[in-house]
């Protein structure tokens, strides 16, 4: 198979994995197999959506995280926080309180990611004007979706809006502002508090860019626990550290990462679709049809978008409710003229800089469906896949260690699996006398591990 393309933030811990296959069964891109009683990730198929992380009953899948102490390598330590972080907490916890905990942890600056979305929205609108032939244009906001399109819907890569997500825009702006204030570039560390694994992967190996202005990533659950512990201990309001003056986030920014946050702010006919299986179903259909009159698609991998990210702690429906309440409040303040955005250090002053830096390079298709680079070879393999499919039962039971009969057929053709891994094939062979009972037991042990077939085994039950 091809070389490694992706950095993955999801890591499978073999020593913890019990080979239960829950992850394999929920993976929307069929990227997981079971071998010798352990889940294995096929790197090139994984889009970091995190469904497996949620399905794992024993915590064998973890989200890698940069060591927190690395922030102290920098003199200017910026925490980039998404609006979803604020939405994690009950309304009585204020942004000032959250900020004060972040400052005590060691950050010197705190900035909300979505301050730049107005600049981004204008960029999207002019991008749409210039790319009318690629309708419907699709948001590149969610990195799991960008990867999904590259892998599963390669014909749609040119429909992606080739603009940086708000996170990258906020990071570029803040870094530039600190440089303009006289800081050296290598003294600045920009750290993003992430609600999901896909954004970590996107920072570590950005698509369509050489590198990211973001120095490191900190998982949101870690920060949530720190803040909530402090809140529970009642320390709130007694902090001694100085909280920086923060411009309030506009209503558009507050809900930008929620479902319909983008779509509602883009002119024309727009649709917002969340949850990766819904997105796959929709794109599958879209690929068949000739150009449509949809102008813009907002596509998000998680249910309820970023509020449903795998590193969030609060129930996603409460989170969305809080974000909407906050947006409504912001809107009324904006209308009263209470919010001002013209102070030095406002993103508005960097509009030109951000406009010049908003584009990403080309986003390449990387179809993972191809059976072979060479069409003649691929044709042979495809024939074989169909021959094998005629024998397999179409049950998708997963007992062979592949998630579907069709994935087993492809695995066999690629030399990664054997026909007799199928339990139905085994039974037939046993009856015909071509496979001994001992041998079929051996095959099952190779897939599921010997432990699962021991007598009186109460482990993991």
Partner 1 sequence: MHFEYQIEGGNFTRAGFASSEIKKMMKQLNVDLGIIKRTVVATYEAEVNVVAHAYSGTIYVDFDEEKVVIKLVDEGPGIDDINQAMTEGYSTASSTVREMGFGAGMGLPNMKKNADDLQITSEVGKGTTVIITMFFAKSEQ
Give the residue, chosen from 144, 307, 363, 385, that forms a contact with partner 1 under the rule CB under 8 A: 385
Q: Please name which of 381, 351, 357 lies closest in space to residue 369, comparing C-alpha atoms.
A: 381
Query: Mask of contacts with partner 1, 139-158, x by CB under 8 A?
Result: ---------------xx---
Q: Which range touches partner 1 (CB under 8 A), out of 32-40, 271-279, 371-379, 418-426?
A: 371-379
Q: Is 287 in the site for partner 1 (CB under 8 A)?
A: yes
Query: How many Å apart are CA 138 and CA 143, to the nearest integer?
Result: 12
Q: Which range touches partner 1 (CB under 8 A), out of 174-182, 194-202, 287-295, 420-428?
A: 287-295
Give the residue with the Cβ less far from partner 1, 246 or 378. 378
Give the residue, chosen from 359, 386, 427, 436, that forms a contact with partner 1 under the rule CB under 8 A: 386
- Residue identified by tokens 């749409």 is 128
Burial 293-310 (b: 16+ CB within 10 A, else e): eebbbbbbbbebbbbbbb
Give the residue, chosen from 16, 328, 379, 395, that forms a contact with partner 1 under the rule CB under 8 A: 379
Q: Is 290 in the site for partner 1 (CB under 8 A)?
A: yes
Q: Which range touches partner 1 (CB under 8 A), out of 70-78, 177-185, 216-224, 282-290?
A: 282-290
**Region 154-193 residues binding partner 1, contact defined as CB under 8 A:** 154-155
Provide the minimum distance between the beta carbon of 300 and partner 1 in the complex, in angstroms, as a whole number. Answer: 24
Q: Which range touches partner 1 (CB under 8 A), out of 10-18, 163-171, 190-198, 374-382?
A: 374-382
Q: Is 42 in the site for partner 1 (CB under 8 A)?
A: no
Q: Is 286 in the site for partner 1 (CB under 8 A)?
A: no
Provide the minimum distance between the beta carbon of 147 and partner 1 in the complex, in angstroms, as a whole number. Answer: 16
Provide the minimum distance between the beta carbon of 120 and partner 1 in the complex, in angstroms, as a whole number. Answer: 28
Q: Residues 358, 163: contact at Cβ < 8 Å?
A: yes
Q: Is 375 in the site for partner 1 (CB under 8 A)?
A: yes
Give the residue with the Cβ less far from partner 1, 132 or 386. 386
Estimate to the nearest angstrom the gap between the alpha carbon of 322 and the chain centroid: 22
Q: Which range touches partner 1 (CB under 8 A), out of 94-102, 206-214, 281-289, 346-354?
A: 281-289
**What residue spans of 181-270 are helical by DSSP H?**
197-204, 220-233, 251-255
Q: Please name which of 81, 13, 8 lies closest in space to residue 42, comparing C-alpha atoms.
A: 8
Q: Please name which of 79, 11, 111, 1 lies closest in space to residue 45, comparing C-alpha atoms.
A: 1
Q: Is 1 in the site for partner 1 (CB under 8 A)?
A: no
Q: Which range touches partner 1 (CB under 8 A), out of 138-146, 237-245, 312-320, 377-385?
A: 377-385
Provide the minimum distance between the beta carbon of 266 and partner 1 in the complex, in angstroms, as a whole number. Answer: 22
- Residue identified by tokens 């004060």 is 100
* Neighbour tally for 73: CB within 10 Å: 12
Listing from the earlier edge strand, what are the strands of the sheet with 137-138?
137-138, 296-300, 270-274
Residues facing 77 on adjacent strands: 189
Q: Is 284 in the site for partner 1 (CB under 8 A)?
A: yes
Provide the minimum distance between the beta carbon of 299 and partner 1 in the complex, in angstroms, as a whole number. Answer: 19
Provide the minimum distance between the beta carbon of 413 and partner 1 in the complex, in angstroms, as a whole number. Answer: 10
Q: Is 373 in the site for partner 1 (CB under 8 A)?
A: yes
Residues 6+ apart with CB under 8 A from 126: none
- 175 sits in which H/E element: helix 166-180
Provide the minimum distance between the beta carbon of 383 and partner 1 in the complex, in angstroms, as a whole number. Answer: 6
Q: Is 288 in the site for partner 1 (CB under 8 A)?
A: yes
Query: How many Å apart are CA 286 and CA 288, to the nearest integer?
Result: 5
Give the residue with the Cβ less far from partner 1, 154 or 268. 154
Query: Which structure tokens are listed for 425?
Result: 């094939």
Query: How many Å apart are CA 405 and CA 389, to the nearest integer?
Result: 7
Q: Is 383 in the site for partner 1 (CB under 8 A)?
A: yes
Q: Is 362 in the site for partner 1 (CB under 8 A)?
A: no
The C-alpha angle 15, 315, 312, rounded to 5 degrees, equals 50
Provide the minimum distance between the beta carbon of 294 and partner 1 in the complex, in angstroms, as a whole number. Answer: 11
Provide the minimum distance between the beta carbon of 303 and partner 1 in the complex, in angstroms, as a whole number. Answer: 25
Give the residue with the Cβ less far from partner 1, 386 or 436. 386
DSSP character for 136? Answer: S
Asked, as a colleague might, if the bond just before 326 is cis with ω within 30 of 0, I would say no
Q: Residues 137, 295: contact at Cβ < 8 Å?
A: yes
Q: Is 289 in the site for partner 1 (CB under 8 A)?
A: yes
Give the residue with the Cβ less far from partner 1, 73 or 370. 370
Sign of the CA dihedral 106, 108, 110, 115?
negative
| Strands annotated E in 37-131 | 38-41, 61-63, 76-81, 109-112
Report the interface residues with partner 1, using CB under 8 A. 154-155, 284-285, 287-290, 365, 367, 369-376, 378-379, 381-383, 385-386
């Amino acid at each position: 198979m091809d070389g490694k393309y992706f950095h993955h933030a999801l890591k499978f811990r073999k020593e913890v994995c019990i080979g239960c296959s829950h992850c394999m069964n929920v993976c929307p891109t069929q990227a997981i197999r079971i071998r010798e009683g352990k889940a294995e990730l096929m790197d090139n198929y994984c889009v970091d959506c995190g469904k497996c992380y949620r399905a794992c009953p024993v915590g064998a899948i973890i989200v890698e995280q940069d060591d927190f102490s690395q922030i102290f390598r920098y003199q200017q330590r910026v925490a980039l926080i998404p609006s979803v972080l604020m939405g994690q907490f009950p309304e009585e916890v204020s942004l000032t309180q959250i900020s004060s905990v972040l400052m005590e942890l060691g950050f010197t600056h705190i900035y909300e990611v979505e301050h730049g979305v107005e600049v981004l929205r204008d960029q999207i609108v002019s991008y749409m004007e210039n790319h009318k032939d690629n309708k419907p244009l699709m948001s590149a906001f969610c990195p799991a979706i960008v990867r999904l399109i590259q892998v599963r819907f390669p014909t749609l890569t040119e429909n992606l809006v080739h603009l940086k997500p708000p996170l990258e825009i906020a990071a570029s702006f803040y870094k530039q502002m600190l440089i303009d204030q006289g800081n050296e570039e290598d003294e600045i560390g920009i750290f993003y508090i992430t609600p999901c694994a896909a954004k970590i992967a996107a920072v570590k190996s950005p698509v369509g860019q050489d590198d990211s202005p973001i120095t490191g990533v900190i998982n949101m659950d870690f920060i949530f626990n720190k803040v909530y512990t402090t809140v529970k201990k009642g320390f709130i309001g007694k902090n001694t550290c100085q909280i920086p003056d923060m411009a309030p986030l506009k209503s558009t920014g507050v809900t930008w990462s929620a479902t319909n946050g983008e779509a509602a702010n883009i002119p024309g006919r727009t649709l917002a679709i969340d949850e990766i299986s819904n997105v796959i179903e929709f794109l599958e259909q879209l690929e068949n049809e000739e150009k449509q009159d949809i102008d813009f698609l907002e596509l998000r991998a998680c249910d309820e978008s970023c509020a449903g990210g795998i590193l969030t702690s609060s129930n996603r429906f409460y989170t969305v409710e809080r974000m909407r309440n906050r947006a409504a409040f912001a809107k009324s303040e904006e209308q009263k003229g209470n919010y001002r955005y013209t102070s030095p250090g406002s993103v508005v002053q960097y509009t030109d800089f951000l406009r010049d830096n908003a584009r990403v390079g080309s986003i390449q298709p990387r179809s993972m469906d191809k059976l072979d680079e060479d069409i003649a070879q691929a044709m042979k393999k495809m024939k074989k896949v169909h021959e094998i499919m005629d024998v397999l039962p179409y049950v998708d039971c997963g007992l062979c260690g592949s998630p579907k009969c069709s994935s087993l057929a492809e695995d066999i053709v690629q030399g990664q699996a054997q026909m007799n891994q199928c339990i139905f094939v085994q039974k037939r062979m046993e009856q015909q006398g071509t496979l001994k009972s001992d041998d079929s037991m051996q095959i099952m042990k190779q897939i599921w591990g010997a432990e699962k077939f021991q007598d009186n085994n109460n482990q993991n039950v």
